[in-house]
Amino acid sequence: MVVLGSSSSCCSVAIVGAVLVLVLVLNGADLCNGGKTSTFVRKVEKTVDMPPDSDVFRVPPGYNAPQQVHITQGDHVGKGVIVSWVTPDEPGSSEVLYWSENSEHKQKAKGKVNRYKFYNYTSGYIHHCTINNLMYNTKYYYEVGAGHTVRQFWFITPPEVGPDVPYTFGLIGDLGQSFDSNRTLTHYENNPQKGQTVLFVGDLSYADNYPNHDNVRWDTWGRFVERSVAYQPWIWTAGNHEIDFAPEIGENQPFKPFKNRYHVPYRASNSTAPFWYSIKRASAYIIVLSSYSAYGKYTPQYKWLEQELPKVNRTETPWLIVLMHSPWYNSYNYHYMEGETMRVMYEQWFVTYKVDVVFAGHVHAYERSERVSNIAYNIVNGLCVPVDDQSAPVYITIGDGGNLEGLATNMTEPQPKYSAYREASFGHAIFDIKNRTHAYYNWHRNQDGYAVEADSMWFFNRIWHPVDDSTSV
Ligand SMILES: *[C@@H]1O[C@H](CO)[C@@H](O)[C@H](O)[C@H]1NC(C)=O
Ligand SMILES: *[C@@H]1O[C@H](CO)[C@@H](O)[C@H](O)[C@H]1NC(C)=O
Ligand SMILES: *[C@@H]1O[C@H](CO)[C@@H](O)[C@H](O)[C@H]1NC(C)=O
Ligand SMILES: *[C@@H]1O[C@H](CO)[C@@H](O)[C@H](O)[C@H]1NC(C)=O
Ligand SMILES: *[C@@H]1O[C@H](CO)[C@@H](O)[C@H](O)[C@H]1NC(C)=O
Ligand SMILES: *[C@@H]1O[C@H](CO)[C@@H](O)[C@H](O)[C@H]1NC(C)=O
Ligand SMILES: [Fe+2]
């Protein structure tokens, strides 16, 4: 057993006696500026991958049965869905049959099939089919595998884009396929708040941790998460484990498996690459950025984001959410400052356009920041510290999905002022938009019951209710 962190660490006041420290720990109270380092005590177990013959990796029965079924938003406004799946034996049909709950009439959408090779691995037949012009707020059934083994699933389209539509997003990052990953997914599924769409902040399968980036582990991951992502969209962000750059085995094209397997509607937001794009969903405008594509001045991502931010109409979509993989504000001793160069490029824009919240992963732990910015520095003035800024987003690191690399437990001490809460446990979070002014956010650790909240915060919208929503005393 290990006590994770200690709340004494954030106070540099040396005169605080041991007894007082103990009182502080027991109160869970926090009288120092550095926010809270959780004292939650967790059993430390090695994080191990589920073996290939695990129940969650089972191949569905039947000749050429579609597997690894997953959906994501297929257009800019939520009336489209991309359905993807893999057939193992032969290409089969790339058609999706779909019908709304109240209709008998089955409609057809035509997709495409492709395969890719990676070193000595050849993928199955990967199908992607975009369904367009769906009705909002409607349950649809869909079928894949026409001609051979047919499998049926369903999804519910989001309500029409508008300022006061409630909507509930789940947040998962750095998931992998360990026993802990399965716990995280199970907790998300059983959370009574019922997430309607997952915002996934990158690092999916961790296949690249296997010899020759064994792409069979991309297939097992696809089968593992099907039980959620075949029924609700996951919005994809590319992480470093999606790069799969392996010149030592002749694989020089970054993101090859990810790009072949996970399609996103990037063209709908006039992006030129699937690693950065945007969608509107209900009352949220979601911008996905790539920590592993060029983001300096004049680059495609920079130019796109520069034009994108002014387009966000907060009367239509009050909530502006950004997803990226590598966090800008991270006080763990893992991946420390890796997000710094991107922060330098874009942070001013996030403050100018009043981004509500930024979700990142990469660090295998949990952390939530205060609203801070660090944009005053200009090389000569020395103004290089994060300061309170009510126009700045809250930064949340949610890279605690539970992959085989294990937890990040080593934190910088003392806890920096900008860090509101940090804890080295696996889990997931929920961002529950109530209306244009209020959203309820909470984080769940896997050790607790499904309904238990370990950290929470009421978000006040930066445009419609720009009141201080800090949780610190
Ligand atoms: C790929 O190569 C590795 C070793 O180089 C071997 O262990 C594995 O069985 C091969 N896989 C296939 C599908 O040929
Ligand atoms: C994964 O979790 C599900 C419950 O959600 C359980 O049925 C299954 O047995 C678990 N599999 C493994 C390998 O842990
Ligand atoms: C994409 O560009 C086209 C042409 O300039 C424009 O009509 C459309 O509104 C743009 N779409 C988005 C989502 O910005
Ligand atoms: C912003 O959205 C609102 C509500 O949909 C609309 O009335 C308004 O015209 C939009 N503003 C701009 C500049 O497009
Ligand atoms: C934690 O990280 C710091 C900085 O990298 C390092 O000096 C220290 O040895 C680490 N502590 C442990 C217990 O690993
Ligand atoms: C928005 O939601 C919050 C929290 O549920 C509630 O207190 C507030 O009254 C709502 N605002 C409006 C205008 O309904
Ligand atoms: Fe990562």
pLDDT in tens, 334-345: 999 999 999 999
Contact call for residues 147 and 94 (beta carbons, < 8 A): no
Residue positions annotated with a catalytic role: 335
* 77-112 pLDDT tens trace: 999 999 999 999 999 999 999 999 999 899 999 999
Contact call for residues 214 and 241 (beta carbons, < 8 A): no
* 307-360 pLDDT tens trace: 999 999 999 999 999 999 999 999 999 999 999 999 999 999 999 999 999 999
Place of tokens 């309500």: 159
Residue of 75, 76, 269, 270 to test ligand 3 pocket, by largest number of atoms within 8 Å of CB: 270
Residue 417's Cα: distance from chain center in Å? Answer: 25
* Ligand 5 centroid – CA 410 distance (Å): 6
Q: Which tokens hold the place of 70? A: 């997953």
* 189-220 pLDDT tens trace: 999 999 999 999 999 999 999 999 999 999 99
- Please state, in angstroms and as integers, the Cα–Cα distance from residue 215 to each residue in 7, 66, 122, 354, following that order: 43, 18, 8, 40
Q: 3-state class of 345 per DSSP?
A: helix
Ligand nearest 219 Cα, by number? 1
CB-count burial class (<10 Å; 0-12, 13-18, 19+) for 349 = middle
Contact call for residues 453 and 425 (beta carbons, < 8 A): no
Residue of 434, 442, 459, 464 to test ligand 6 pocket, by largest number of atoms within 8 Å of CB: 434
Residue 190 DSSP label:
H
The per-residue pLDDT for 33 is: 60
The per-residue pLDDT for 473 is: 58
Residue 60 DSSP label:
P
- Please state, in angstroms and as integers, the Cα–Cα distance from residue 361 to each residue in 238, 326, 344, 357, 426, following that order: 10, 6, 18, 13, 12
Residue of 44, 331, 333, 337 to test ligand 5 pocket, by largest number of atoms within 8 Å of CB: 333
* 131-161 pLDDT tens trace: 999 999 999 999 999 999 999 999 999 999 9
The per-residue pLDDT for 42 is: 81
Which of 276, 236, 278, 233 has its CA nearest to residue 76? 278
Q: Which residue has the higher pLDDT, 35 or 287?
A: 287
Least confident of 5-9, 227-231, 325-329, 448-452: 5-9
* 419-443 pLDDT tens trace: 999 999 999 999 999 999 999 999 9
Q: Is the pLDDT of residue 296 over 50?
A: yes
Q: 3-state class of 140 per DSSP?
A: strand
Q: Which tokens hold the place of 402? A: 């539970």
Place of tokens 């938003």: 73
The per-residue pLDDT for 142 is: 98
Ligand 3 site, CB within 6 A: 76, 269-270, 311
Q: Is the pLDDT of residue 300 over 60?
A: yes
CB-count burial class (<10 Å; 0-12, 13-18, 19+) for 45 = exposed
Q: Which atom of ligand 2 is nearest to the CA of 54?
A: 13
Q: Which atom of ligand 5 is nearest to the CA of 410?
A: 1
Contact call for residues 454 and 68 (beta carbons, < 8 A): no
Amino acid at 309: L
Report whether residue 450 contacts ligand 2, using a CB cutoff of 6 Å. no
Amino acid at 323: L
Q: Which tokens hold the place of 226? A: 């099907």
* 345-402 pLDDT tens trace: 999 999 999 999 999 999 999 999 999 999 999 999 999 999 999 999 999 999 999 9
Q: Is the pLDDT of residue 22 over 90?
A: no
| Greatest CA separation for the chain | 76
* Ligand 1 centroid – CA 89 distance (Å): 20
For residue 345, the tally of other CB atoms under 10 A from its CB is 16
Q: Is the pLDDT of residue 249 over 70?
A: yes
Q: Would you state the torsion angle of the CA atoms of residues 204, 205, 210, 211, taken in this order, to the nearest 10 degrees?
A: -90
Residue 406's Cα: distance from chain center in Å? Answer: 18
Average pLDDT (52-63) is 98
What mean pLDDT value characterizes the chain? 93
- Please state, in angstroms and as integers, the Cα–Cα distance from residue 332 to each residue in 36, 291, 338, 364, 422, following that order: 13, 18, 11, 9, 9
The per-residue pLDDT for 43 is: 78
420: left (phi over 0), alpha (psi -120 to 50) or beta: alpha
